[in-house]
Amino acid sequence: MTLRPFDILIAEDNEDDILLIREAFETVNMTNRVAVVRDGAEAMAYLRGEGPFSQCPLPGMVLLDINMPKKTGLEVLEEIKSDPRFRALPVVILTVSEREEDIVRSFEQGACSYIRKPVTFTRFIAVVKEFELYWTLVSKVPMLKR
């Protein structure tokens, strides 16, 4: 079976977390191309192919932090799921928040998963390995077009 890697958009404003995510992906040899935006407004501009993102491909998945400037992750999630072009796009919440209301709201608004950011790099590597196995071997990701 040939695995088809898909592009991943990471919406994260914390530089340390961005570095951690990139290092974890490299450590487990993920073949997915990764793009990073640092706030909620940039995330939506990227998905819409606006401005500096006009030549960027539509990702196959979004990893979305909740606590971001300009637009929160939950506001971005709501916009993604209310737009027919992006409604089928898998959105995984990747955040430090353990608040039950954030978890409930994320799923109510259409997130397909909610992952709490692990504190240690070793634990984060384990989470990324599980993430990769699930999204490459078990689940299918739609290939959407703008």
Report domain extents, the chain.
Answer: 8-136
CATH no. for 8-136 = 3.40.50.2300
The identity of residue 110, as a single letter, is G
Tens digit of each residue's pLDDT (9 = 90 or more) over 62-92: 999 999 999 999 999 999 999 999 999 999 9
- In Å, how far are 2, 68, 78, 100, 126 from 136, measured between CA atoms? 10, 28, 26, 28, 15
Tens digit of each residue's pLDDT (9 = 90 or more) over 30-59: 777 889 999 999 999 999 999 999 999 899
> Above 60 in pLDDT, residue 137?
no
Distance CA 132, CA 121 (A): 16
Q: Which of 56, 113, 62, 104 is nearest to 83 (CA)?
A: 62
> Above 50 in pLDDT, residue 1?
no
What pLDDT was estimated at residue 73? Answer: 94
> Above 70 in pLDDT, residue 93?
yes
Q: Which of 104, 112, 68 is nearest to 86 (CA)?
A: 112
Backbone angles phi, psi at 81, to 5 degrees: -75, -15
Tens digit of each residue's pLDDT (9 = 90 or more) over 104-119: 999 999 998 898 887 6
Tens digit of each residue's pLDDT (9 = 90 or more) over 14-34: 998 888 888 888 887 777 788
The secondary structure of 62-121 as a DSSP string is EEE-SS-SSS-HHHHHHHHHHSTTTTTS-EEEEES---HHHHHHHHHTT-SEEEEPPSSH
What pLDDT was estimated at residue 62? Answer: 94
Distance CA 132, CA 32 (A): 10
What pLDDT was estimated at residue 133? Answer: 61
| Strands of the sheet with 91-95, listed across from one edge | 34-37, 8-11, 61-64, 91-95, 113-116
Secondary structure letter of residue 138 according to DSSP: I
Q: Quick one: pLDDT band at residue 95, thresholds 50, 70, 90? A: confident
What pLDDT was estimated at residue 121? Answer: 72
66 neighbors 94 (Cβ within 8 angstroms): no
